[in-house]
Structure 1
Amino acid sequence: MANVLLVDDDVDLGKLISEYLTEEGFNVFHQVNGRDVLAFVAEHRIDVIILDIMLPGMNGIEILRRIRRVDNIPVLMMTARGDEVDRIAGLDLGADDYLAKPCSPGELAARLRAILRRAASSRAGSADTIEVGDLSIDPRGRKALWKGTMLALTGAEFNLMEALASRPGQIVSRGELCELGLGRPLTRFERTIDVHMSSIRQKMGLLADGRSPIVNVRGQGYQLVTG
């Protein structure tokens, strides 16, 4: 049973979501104050966090920023419908996925399963290390080294990096990356993959010749450079 931490100051909504997710087989903890989240995560085993942006005490963006300094626990952000700025800010800081409120509990449960399924699949997959130039990926340990230095990747970012490294030099479509990295189909006007890729490229830096190790092939997808 996966432990889910729901962080939302709407008590009634939190109760509704908690009851639904519990019926779906999740073990749900509910926090209403942003300032209590970091201490709670430090004291409990949490598999995934549902994090609302508008919170008393400390907003969701700042909470995510602090979590990412010490942990890569999967985080699904909840944002106001149409508030793209908050969504992009959350993804830039390392959120694994997002949903606009109001959302259906069924879709929320499906998103959580997709996040957890991807993490479990990667851990249970090939134990062999993937080596592509200066990039080394340990699928079982979910660690990625670039030029000998550990990359601080979120769960979704690691999934995307693993997908590219498994097909070095090949173009992997955004649709495939959405399925492999986020565990769900690509939707129209979806920008999540692009934001994650931008974050990964920033963390890796440039090759000696000034190129990015990950190329955005316009209209097709992304490609991991092999040399």
Structure 2
Amino acid sequence: MPHILIVEDEAAIADTLVFALQSEGFTTCWLSLAGEALERLAQEPFDLVILDVGLPDMSGFEACKRLRRVSEVPVIFLTARSEEIDRVVGLEIGADDYVVKPFSPRELAARVKAILKRIAPRQPEAPAAVADGPFRVDRLRYQIHYHEQPLSLTRHEFHLLTALLAQPERVFAREQLLDALGVAADAGYARNIDSHIKSLRAKLRAVHAAAEPIQTHRGLGYSYTPER
């Protein structure tokens, strides 16, 4: 039974979330402070965290940054702010989804189920470790080496790079790359692919500055070009 941590300082909202999630068969834990949540996460495993951005002791963004140093547990942000820059920042620091208040509790529960389904362990359909030129992909360990150097990738970056490496020279539209992340194309996150690609390129250049394995095709999308 999936165990969900809710970090929300407004009791009415938290009560609504607890009811909606427990009605779907989840177990829940509610905390109102980010500091308490980080301590609890260090002591107890959770399957997903619902994290309010505007907490009284620490912003949800800062809490997520600290959490990502030690854990890849899925995070859904709750916020009263709907500006695109806030959504981009939230996703760039490692969130899996971003929900603006007021929201439908049933929709949020559906998003939780979709994320948990997407990250559920699967039997590998291909060999665990696959080499492609300077890249070595280890699907079981969620690790990619580039020129023998391990890359520190978020889960989204791992899936994006794996999708590109699997089909060299193919041009992927942003919507197709969203599908590789398990995100619906109509969720409004297509432009956030650009942020993930930018981060990926920076990590690749840190290993091999002269190479440019990820190519941009203006108006179309992105592709992986093997190094010659």
Q: TM-score by structure 2 length?
A: 0.88
Q: Which moved more, 1:205-214 or 1:132-141?
A: 205-214
Distance 1:208 1:59, change over 3 A: closer
CA distance in structure 2 between the aligned counterparts of 1:107 and 1:161, rounded to whole angstroms: 29
Distance 1:188 1:32, change over 3 A: closer
Query: 2:196 — aligned with what?
Result: 196
Query: 1:117 — aligned with what?
Result: 117
Query: 1:126 — aligned with what?
Result: 125
CA distance in structure 1 between the aligned counterparts of 2:194 and 2:89, rounded to whole angstroms: 13
SS in 2 for 1:175: helix
SS in 1 for 2:125: coil
Q: Which moved more, 1:164-173 or 1:57-66?
A: 164-173
Do the aligned residues in 2 keep the contact of 1:78 with 1:99 (CA within 8 Å)?
Answer: yes
Report the residue type matching 2:117 in the other structure. R
After TM superposition, where is structure 1 displaced by more than 6 Å over at least 4 residues in a row?
none
Alignment gaps of 5+ in structure 1: none
Q: CA RMSD in A?
A: 2.2
CA distances 1:3-50 after superposition (whole Å, capped 9, x unpaired): 221111111101101110111122222211011121111111112211
Query: 2:27 — aligned with what?
Result: 27
1:91 shift after superposition? 1.9
Do the aligned residues in 2 keep the contact of 1:159 with 1:181 (CA within 8 Å)?
Answer: yes
Report the residue type matching 2:124 in the other structure. G
1:207 shift after superposition? 7.5
Distance 1:147 1:191, change over 3 A: same
CA distance in structure 1 between the aligned counterparts of 2:80 and 2:19, rounded to whole angstroms: 22
Do the aligned residues in 2 keep the contact of 1:73 with 1:154 (CA within 8 Å)?
Answer: no
Larger gyration radius, structure 1 or structure 2: 2
Do the aligned residues in 1 keep the contact of 2:174 with 2:191 (CA within 8 Å)?
Answer: no
1:52 aligns with 2:58: no
Distance 1:108 1:220, change over 3 A: same
Identity of aligned residues (%): 35
Alignment gaps of 5+ in structure 2: none
CA distance in structure 2 between the aligned counterparts of 1:26 and 1:134, rounded to whole angstroms: 43
CA distances 1:52-78 after superposition (whole Å, capped 9, x unpaired): 111011111111111111222222222
Do the aligned residues in 1 keep the contact of 2:149 with 2:207 (CA within 8 Å)?
Answer: no
1:209 shift after superposition? 6.9
Distance 1:208 1:34, change over 3 A: closer
Report the residue type matching 2:136 in the other structure. S
1:102 shift after superposition? 1.8
1:92 shift after superposition? 2.0
1:174 shift after superposition? 1.1
Report the residue type matching 1:193 in the other structure. I
Q: TM-score by structure 1 length?
A: 0.88
Do the aligned residues in 1 keep the contact of 2:146 with 2:207 (CA within 8 Å)?
Answer: no
Query: 2:158 — aligned with what?
Result: 158
Query: 2:136 — aligned with what?
Result: 136
CA distance in structure 2 between the aligned counterparts of 1:34 and 1:181, rounded to whole angstroms: 27
CA distance in structure 2 between the aligned counterparts of 1:96 and 1:217, rounded to whole angstroms: 26
The count of aligned residue pairs is: 226
